[in-house]
Amino acid sequence: MTFSSKIQAVAICHTPYKQKFGIPRQPGLVSAARGFVELQPPFNHIDTVRGLEQYSHIWLLFSFHENLAQGWKTTVRPPRLGGNEKLGVFATRSTFRPNGIGQSVVKLHGIHQQKGKVMLEISAMDLLDGTPIIDIKPYIPFSDAIDDAQGGIAHDAPVLAEVHFTDTVQQQLSHYQQSQYPNLQAIIEGVLAQDPRPAYKKAKADPKQYQVALYDLDILWRAIDGAIHVEAIRPSNVQKPCLDD
């Protein structure tokens, strides 16, 4: 069965996450990260979100736009299982799906209207910068939260690693947090505590230095003895999203 209804982006999400590597695997894991959902024409009218401010959280339905060309498979290897066991695609939240549609619940901090733009200020998202949003819905606690739900392989929150910063990085953080990014250290800690490396890398010694892009910065780090060590922060060539752009 097919249908021909046209789906278009109602908004674009602006987040600190400039690359897929390092994005939280679920929403709500990095509460310090702030972003904006910018409504797109013809939906960028304040009336489309009238009354939304009474909700603390919203659902975002979105497109895994950077994965669509790679297609999908019937089974995937969830990171929760160490990448060693296959489950059906519909039994996971794999980003490689038949229609490339995802959903996330995020915290709504406010609705802004300026310079012809309507922006929803959000936090705790797990979305790549530039992600197309195909629908926005209010989160309703009495129906959306189920107390006795079973979470399968993801019933419990992930085990987090300790994150350490060198003295040089601490100085860099002090500079960046005073000038542009007040929550930078908390965001780095939240992202790296989840150890974004592929599952097979975690089972053996791994001397490699990794890089995660946040805002217009590259965060350089290594995993040593089960902990994450941030070794440097350097500017990248990626432009920071801004509400005033």
DSSP string, 32-71: T-EEEEEE-TTS-SGGGGTTGGG-SEEEEEEE-TTTGGG-
pLDDT in tens, the chain (245 residues): 666 578 899 999 999 999 999 998 889 999 999 999 999 999 999 999 999 999 999 999 999 988 778 888 899 888 777 767 899 999 988 888 999 999 999 999 999 998 889 999 999 999 999 999 999 999 999 999 998 888 887 777 788 899 999 999 999 999 888 778 888 999 999 999 999 988 778 777 788 999 999 999 999 999 998 899 999 999 986 444 333 33
d(CA 13, CA 36): 6
75-76 and 34-39 beta bridge pairing? unpaired
Contact 60, 104 (CB under 8 A): yes
pLDDT at 26: 87
pLDDT at 2: 64
Question: Residue 42: is the preceding peptide bond cis (ω within 30°)?
Answer: yes
Give residue for tokens 């690693």.
Answer: 161
Which of 192, 238, 173, 221 minimizes the C-alpha distance to 25?
A: 192
- Domains contained in the chain, CATH given: 11-152 (2.40.30.70), 163-235 (no CATH)
pTM above 0.95, yes or no: no
Contact 18, 127 (CB under 8 A): no
